[in-house]
Amino acid sequence: MDGLVQLSFLVQGILTDAAGAYELSLQQARLLGVLRDREPGMAQLAGVLGLDKSSTTGLVARAERRGLVRRVAVDEDRRAVRVALSEHGRQLALTVAAEVERRLDEAVGGLTETNRKRLSQLASQVVHHHARSTGVDLGTGRPVAAPSQEPNR
Amino acid sequence: MDGLVQLSFLVQGILTDAAGAYELSLQQARLLGVLRDREPGMAQLAGVLGLDKSSTTGLVARAERRGLVRRVAVDEDRRAVRVALSEHGRQLALTVAAEVERRLDEAVGGLTETNRKRLSQLASQVVHHHARSTGVDLGTGRPVAAPSQEPNR
DNA sequence: TATTGTTATACTCTATAACTATA
DNA sequence: TATAGTTATAGAGTATAACAATA
């Protein structure tokens, strides 16, 4: 399974470079990706990202400072906030996703069409199996990423 | 190729957790892995890890402080050093590698034996294709990780 | 009391720029 | 001059522990 480890570093490198091309860190880009179809509270966001809530506070604070996200007050519970993409953030999320797609396609260019599909399908299978066996909610199932027990990412 | 992105986060999470079980950060564990069969200079090490040389100085300094690696003087060039695993570092590298193997096997447990092999083989294929097309030396081809143009990892 | 989120603090990791010591 | 490595500095990202406000 060694190739899998190397591949994970390769893909993370591609993500980092693609995000970096738009002055984003990997984590900031990941945040944008996660928020594309959610508006979670801080605690839920921490759960999805596999981070401690205090780490999430910082991540969101930096994103907010750059105008990528907004903290939206919740009427029913005055303790709570929801994190939402700003227009700029949403636009950037789309742009970066396209760039990732482009670079990823390039990276798997050495495979036949059949094998590309096979790889993609096997990857999804592993991810879903892991999500099921660890009981982690992947939500609508987008580029959500590493569900892990210990918040240690 | 979205599953591939999710899988990369999953694998990185597994690596982080496995390393964390031995009080190591992902980067420290990666350093140990890289040094398993090399004794590079700082500049070469930076190249392999895709980091700036100053980042490498810090990484090695922290590892050395914990007794995981040693800086070995080079006779022929009094500016240079080589970075080598200590006995403790070597032992830990083995232990962590075994732990990673165990957790990874578990993660792909949802696949049939055939599909596990297929996934592994496709992953290696992508990694090697990328290495060739970017002219990056993967050395002996172990868990070396993300060869990337811009040092940005 | 329990939950939501923030703050204070301390590390690791990273890069850029400037530096030292050799070649 | 060029190369090998370090230092100074700054910022992101992370966790733990303690806290405030609200439920």
| CATH code of B19's domain | 1.10.10.10
Residue A38: C-alpha distances to residues A48, A127, B44 (Å) = 11, 20, 43
Lookup result for tokens 């509270």: A41
Residue A140 has pLDDT above 60, yes or no: no
Residue range A33-57, pLDDT digits in tens: 999 999 999 999 999 999 999 999 9
User: Which residue's CA lies closest to nucleotide D3 at its C1' atom?
Assistant: B79
Average pLDDT of the residues in A116-120: 97
Return the DSSP state at A109. T
What is the reported pTM?
0.87
Does the residue A85 lie in any domain? yes
**Strand (E) or helix (H) holding A100:** helix A87-107
Is position B153 within any domain?
no
Cα B120–Cα B25–Cα B139 angle in degrees, nearest 5: 45
Average pLDDT estimate for B30-41: 97
Q: Extract the tokens encoding A152.
A: 């240690």
CA–C1' gap, B54 and C15, in angstroms: 8
Query: With bands split at pLDDT 50, 70 and 90, how would you rate the model's confidence at B140?
Result: very low
Residues of A in contact with B1 (CB under 8 A): 101, 104-105, 108, 116, 120
Contact yes or no for A13 and B146 at CB 8 A:
yes
At residue A144 the predicted structure's pLDDT band, cuts being 50, 70 and 90, is very low
Q: Indicate whether B101 belongs to any domain.
A: yes
- Is position B82 within any domain? yes
Please report the pLDDT score of residue B1 as a whole number: 79
Compute chain B's Rg from CA coordinates: 16
In this complex, the residue with its CA at the shortest distance from the C1' of nucleotide D23 is A77
pLDDT band at A136 (very low <50, low <70, confident <90, very high): low
For residue B29, what are the CA distances in angstroms to A14, B20, B51, B126?
21, 9, 15, 23
Q: Is residue A143 part of a domain?
A: no
Distance CA B76, CA B31 (A): 25
**Quick check: is A151 in a domain?**
no
How far apart are alpha carbons B85 and B32 in whole angstroms?
7
Q: Output the pLDDT for position A22.
A: 95
What's the structural domain count of chain B? 1
**Quick one: average pLDDT of B46-69?**
97
Asked whether residue A71 carries a pLDDT value surpassing 50, the answer given is yes
Cβ of residue A83 near strand C, that is under 7 Å?
no
Q: In this structure, is residue B53 part of a structural domain? A: yes
Q: What local confidence, expressed as pLDDT, does residue B78 receive?
A: 98
- Residue A91 sits in which domain range? 2-134
Tell whether A144 is covered by a domain. no
A43 touches strand C (CB under 7 A): yes
Q: For residue A143, give the nearest of B5, B119, B130 by CB distance.
A: B5
Q: State mean pLDDT over B83-97.
A: 97
Confidence at residue B72, expressed as pLDDT on a 0 to 100 scale: 98
Residues B70-96 have a mean pLDDT of 98
B148/C20 CA-to-C1' distance in Å: 30
